[in-house]
Amino acid sequence: MLIGIALMATGCKSNTYSKLRAKEDKLIKNYIKRNNLNILTEEPDSTYVWGEKDYYKVEGYDDLYFHLRARGDNSYTVKRNDVIVARYKKFELTENPDTLSYWTTLDQANPYEFYYGITSGTASGTTAICESIGWHEAVRLMKHPRAECEIIVPSKQGFSEDETSVTPYVYIIQIKQIKY
């Protein structure tokens, strides 16, 4: 009987997936509010002048937000199967803004390379398959080499380890080049 009571007490304290998702949604909303971001509900066209706080809530995705920091070189537009060569910073969203942790590839020898438009399958050579839907949407919206963006990515549109831990992230992504 004591074991049953202990299991019930433990079960009451555990977080279900829906509770973790609700907490994640709250973290994203708090981040938006704390940073006074201006949320755009329609996708801006190529002539739109992005304000520092303008973020597009990507249509069709829960809590995926995109901000264009630099337009890049419009002499080439990314296509499916192109290899994207990117550098990025990854910030974990937390309740307290002073505890943001991050990971960066800016100071690493090799950038992150992945096939655009392919989220599953096998990789060839050093090029990976990027499973993050959020990253693919960011590339679609950046469109060009040397473009830079910032995206807020909930776990459902992130990498598999983010989905497992139900952790939202902010990424600053730079397309260094496109191999086609």
Domains of the chain (ranges, CATH numbers): 17-179 (3.10.50.40)
Q: Tell me, what DSSP letter sits at residue 63? A: T
Q: Using one digit for the tens of pLDDT, what is the confidence trace for 34-85? A: 999 999 999 999 999 999 999 999 999 989 999 999 999 999 999 999 999 9
Q: What share of the chain is helix, strand, coil (3-state, %, to 5)?
A: 30, 30, 45
Closest C-alpha to 149, from 160, 135, 163, 132 = 135
Residue the block writes with tokens 């990854």: 90
Q: Using one digit for the tens of pLDDT, what is the confidence trace for 143-179? A: 999 999 999 999 999 988 887 889 899 999 999 998 9
Kind plus residue range of the DSSP H or E element containing 55: strand 54-57
